[in-house]
Amino acid sequence: MRRKCLYISILIGLFSIMPYVGSAQFGVPPDPGGPPSKGNPPLGGGSAPIGEGTAFLISLGAAYAVRKYKKAKMNQNLDNS
């Protein structure tokens, strides 16, 4: 029970900190200038920050794989006993 409570409190702490860490903005964005003309389209396209989300999903997938591996190994040990 104590271990479950510890995991839940860690998860609550992580999820409560994520909005502050994920939306940190440093400084004011630069002035975009005038409106784009027909012959001069804006460069760069969208600027969606997908790096943090990708890393988060990869880490969750790795944690899930480790959990499944440990569970399978534990079941194998129980079957051999």
Q: 24 pLDDT exceeds 70?
A: no
Q: How far, rounded to the nearest angstrom, does the alpha carbon of residue 58 sit from its chain's CA centroid?
A: 8
26-61: pLDDT as tens digits: 666 677 776 656 665 556 555 666 677 788 888 999
d(CA 11, CA 65) in angstroms, rounded, equals 19
Average pLDDT, the chain: 77
pLDDT of amino acid 2: 85
| Helix residue ranges, H only, the chain | 2-22, 51-80
